[in-house]
Structures are given as structure tokens and as C-alpha cells.
Amino acid sequence: MKSLFPFDSSVVSQIRAELGIKKVSQASIRQMVQLVDKLQRHFKVQFIRTEMGVPGFASPQIGVEAEIEALRSGVSSVYPPIQGIEIFKNELSRFAKLFMNIDIKPSGCIPTAGAMQASAVTFLVANRRDRQKDTTLLIDPGFPVQKRQLGVFGMKYESFDIYDYRGEKLREKLESYLKKGNISSFLYSNPNNPSWICFTEKELTIIGELANKYDVVVVEDLAYFGMDFRRDYGKAGAEPYQASVANYTDNYVLLFSSSKIFSYAGQRLGAVMISDKLFARSFDDLSSHFVSGQFGPALLQEAIYVTSAGISHSAQAAVAAMLKAVNDSSFDFVGYLKEYGERAAIMKQHFLDAGFYLVYDKDEEEDLADGFYFTVAFPGMNGEELLSELIRYGISAITLDTTGSSRTDGLRICVSHTTLGRMDELATRLQLFAVEHK
Ligand SMILES: Cc1ncc(COP(=O)(O)O)c(C=O)c1O
């Protein structure tokens, strides 16, 4: 039987034109989703979908049951406390102690509408502490929406791709920005979306030391907490602990998200975890936008109040129940997530066997972890050419162009929608691609 692949390029071009996609490298993830949906319908074929970073597992029942119970108890008729419900705050503070070995008071653990709102409210305060410091430095590649947040707020940012600045080289690179005196905050995710690099302790030490020296607030996005599966970060109160800049500076806000670690993305429950010292610090220049002169109260009573006025009781109850189970060692969240790592190992191998190469491949000397994302490229093609071709073989992805990466050859592959049962299909399609692109 004749293979379905590659799809007729004129049909693909026509569907792209209908959606206004001139360049796949500039398309938003949502446009890519629409394109793949249409191609699937037209060619009656199921894609290997790797374009969207969405959870691939069902939410744990502990959370769902706790949420239903909270709703049954009648909480939906009353406004939730803006600072969060007590059990959520206490369990998140316990989680920080048990899985990171850091002390953050429950008062600094404040629920938000996902890590998305957490970064937004942090920028609103951190970037207005000091008139001289009005610019966020993004250690890219990164999650494009956070750049949009800064854009929407009219805030300035600078960025660089970490690719060439691993290890000790990071210090000089960061200082080249810091010396100008305008940097208010650093932002990065760890593990990183999209490259899946994880900072080493050496790199986190450098970031922490420079944050102290230049009084910069580090916004450390832990949306993929514990998902560096090279080590088991899932044992309460025992080493190894999730790596964090919090070990090296008090100038930090950590962003927590339940979306990936508990597959609870739909309920939009994240949090800021503000260091005790930063929470209490006063800054004269906050008066330009805030009534409060203190970091924590300005973020809570003003930035959160004006953006969401609190987060639903029931979602907090759900995440509090899951955190409690994890803290009490009755739910192994890393075990629950580990299949992502198994998928990544197999998928990477299939790409390598078909002649692809890994773009981001090392944390200093160590191979990258297998996890939620990885990045690949194909010799002689840029990301635009590669993705345009790959979709003709029923495989979708996004290019790295919109993530602040300097690697315009690369694609980001998310493993969450490719179950272990579909790995052979992926291999077959990649081999077909390889034969025709020798
Ligand atoms: C690095 C990073 N930060 C934040 C988010 C948003 O998380 P949430 O769903 O909690 O808003 C994502 C989601 O993909 C992400 O990849």
C-alpha cells in the first residue's frame, strides 16, 4: 500500500494559507494546533503531536475529590481570602521545606491563577522597586508569554541565549548586563521550557551571588518542579533536593505551578513563594505605583487584588490535598510523572536514528535529563524548513524562534501527547523523512 506520507505539499500550503500562516517559525502555538487539527481532518490521519506543552496524564483523584468536597461544602458562594486559604499556604510552605530544604513562611506562599499570574504580579512589583532599575533580564530560551507580559505592562527587558554561557562563563555574561545598573529582575525556568537544560549548582551560585551584589530579584520559574529525572527529587525531607537559587540569595520569588506536576492545568492554580526577607523589605520607589512600601504587601494587597482578587477556594483545596499527600509521603509525585522521561528517552533515540541531532544537549559535562521537552535539528535545514517538511510526515512541533533561542535550526518536541504505544509510528515516520532528506 502506498504510504500516506509525505502529504501533498500543495494541500498543506493551501491549509496554511487559509490560516494565514506564512511562516511556521513565526506561528503561535495555537495556530500550529489549528493547522494540525485541519491536516488531521483532511488526511484522516492522527499526528504525532508534540507542539503544545500540555499535561498528558489524568489529574490525581486526591485533588479531584478534594475539590468536589470543597464545592459541596458551599465555598463557591463566598469570596476566598486574597492571601489564600490556610491549609494551602501551610502545605506549600511545608513542601518548600521537605522538597527544597528551604524555609519560607506560609505568609509568603500566595496562590495565583497559575504560574502565569505569579510571574505577572512579581514583575509588577519587582520592576518598580527602584527607579534606576526598570529592566528584566531573561535568561533564554524561555516561555514566550512571559515576554508578552512585560510587553503588555510596558516594561523593558533584555535577554540572551544561555547556550554559549554555561558554567563559569555565565558570571561574566550576567555582569555585562548588571554593570549598566538597570537590571531589576532575572527570569528563567528550571528545568527550562523549551530546552530542558537544568542549571547546575555552580550556575545557581553565580546567579545568587550576583543577585546579592547588584540587588536583583530572581524570578525562578519552577513550573517543572522535580522533573529532572536524573535524580529522584520526590522523597520528602531527604536529599537530593530540587536545585534552587534560594540556597544562594534571599532576593527571590519562586513560581509554583500545579499544571504539570499534578496535571491540574485546567484549574489554573499556581503560587508565588516569596522569600521571608524580600517579603518584608521596604523600597521607597514602590510609592510610584503602590500604597504599600513593602514588597510582600504590595504584591499581595495590590498586584494580586487588582488582577484577580484571590483564587477559588476549591482549586486551592485540591492542590492543598495533593501537596499534603506528597508532604506526608503518601503520594509519589515524581513516580507519577516519570513516564515523561521514559518517553523522551525513546523519542530522542528515534530522532537520532533518523539523522537528527540534539540542539541543547548538556548541562556543563552532564547529558541533559530526559523529561517533558527536548530540542532537535536536522543537518542542512533551518527550523522553518524542517518543521514545514516534518508536518508532511504527520509530526508536529514548534521551532525555537519564538523562545529567544539563538538556535534557529531547532525544534522543541514535547513528549506529553505521545504515549508509549505510538513510539513505533514515530520511528516509521521519521525513517521515511530520513530516506527522502538524505
Ligand atoms: C516555564 C513555564 N512557566 C509557566 C507556565 C505556566 O504555568 P501555569 O499553567 O501554572 O500558568 C508554563 C506552562 O507551560 C511554563 O512552561
DSSP reduced 3-state for 111: strand
Ligand 1 atom showing the smallest separation from residue 189 Cα = 1
Q: Tell how far the Cα of 412 is from the centroid of ligand 1, in angstroms.
A: 15
pLDDT digits (tens, 9 = 90+) for 341-351: 999 999 999 99
CB count in 10 Å sphere of residue 26: 12
Residue 212 lies in a domain: yes
Q: Is residue 383 part of a domain?
A: yes
> Tens digit of pLDDT for each residue in 237-276?
999 999 999 999 999 999 999 999 999 999 999 999 999 9
Query: Do 107 and 205 share a structural domain?
Result: yes
Inform me whether the pLDDT recorded for 126 exceeds 90. Answer: yes
CA 234, chain centre distance (Å): 19
In this predicted structure, the answer to whether residue 79 has a pLDDT above a threshold of 70 is: yes
Query: Is residue 51 one of the residues assigned to a domain?
Result: no
Residue with CA at minimum distance from ligand 1 atom 16: 193
Is 150 inside any structural domain? yes
Q: Which atom of ligand 1 is nearest to the CA of 113?
A: 11
Task: Tell me 418's DSSP state.
Answer: -
Residues paired with 139 in a beta bridge: 160
- Residue to mutate, 222, 253, 259, ligand 1, most ligand atoms under 8 Å from C-beta: 259
Task: Note whether 412 and 267 are same-domain residues.
Answer: no
Whether residue 18 sits in one domain with residue 132: no
My answer on whether 301 and 385 are in the same domain is no
| Same domain? 309 vs 366 | no
Residue 190 has what pLDDT? Answer: 98
40 and 117 co-located in one domain: no
Domain boundary among 288, 307, 327: 327
Asked if residue 36 and residue 176 are part of one domain, the reply reads no
Alpha carbon of 264 to ligand 1 centroid (Å): 12
> Residue 307 maps to which CATH number?
3.40.640.10
Domain that holds residue 362: 9-45+338-436
Q: What is the dihedral of CA 230, 48, 400, 358, to 10 degrees?
A: 50
Name the closest-CA residue to atom 4, ligand 1.
Answer: 115
**Burial group, residue 151, by CB count within 10 angstroms (0-12, 13-18, 19+):** exposed
Mind listing the pLDDT tens digit for each residue in 148-203? 999 999 999 999 999 999 999 999 999 999 999 999 999 999 999 999 999 999 99
Ligand 1 center from residue 223 Cα (angstroms): 6
Mark whether 147 and 267 lie in a shared domain.
Answer: yes
Q: Which of 327, 357, 373 finishes a domain?
A: 327
CA of 34 to the centre of ligand 1 (A): 21
Query: Domain check: are 220 and 359 in the same one?
Result: no
Domain termination residue (choose one: 327, 352, 376): 327
Instruction: Give the mean model confidence (pLDDT) for residues 88-98.
Output: 98
Q: Does 321 lie in the same domain as 425?
A: no
What confidence tier does 1 reach under pLDDT thresholds 50, 70, 90? low
Same domain for 107 and 37, yes or no, is no
The rounded Cα 151 to chain-centroid distance in angstroms is 19
- For 363-393, write each residue's pLDDT tens digit: 999 999 999 999 999 999 999 999 999 999 9
Cell numbers standing for residue 154: 510596558
Residue 335, pLDDT score:
97
- For residues 290-311, give the mean pLDDT: 98
Asked if residue 56 belongs to a domain, the reply is: no
- The answer to whether residue 55 sits within a structural domain is no
User: How much is the pLDDT for 169?
Assistant: 98
Ligand 1 atom with the smallest distance to the CA of 269 is 10
pLDDT tens sequence across 404-418: 999 999 999 999 999
Residue 332 lies in a domain: no
Share of the chain above pLDDT 70, in %: 100
Q: Is-above-0.95 flag for pTM?
A: yes
> What cell does 160 get?
540572551
Q: How far is the CA of 278 from the centre of ligand 1 (A)?
A: 23
Task: For the beta carbon of residue 180, count every other beta carbon within 10 angstroms.
Answer: 12
- Which CATH number fits the domain that encloses residue 33? 3.90.1150.100
Q: What is the 115 CA–ligand 1 centroid distance (Å)?
A: 6
Q: SS3 of 273, please?
A: strand
pLDDT at position 2 is: 72
Please give the tally of structural domains in the chain: 2
Residue 54 maps to a domain:
no
- Do both 290 and 168 map to the same domain? yes
The pLDDT assigned to 29 comes to 87
Q: For ligand 1, which residues put their CB under 6 angstroms from it?
A: 53, 114-116, 143, 189, 193, 221, 223, 257, 259, 265, 270
Which ligand 1 atom is nearest residue 116's CA? Answer: 11
Å from CA of 3 to ligand 1 middle: 38
Give the Å distance between the CA of 380 and the centre of ligand 1.
32
Rg from Cα positions in the chain:
22
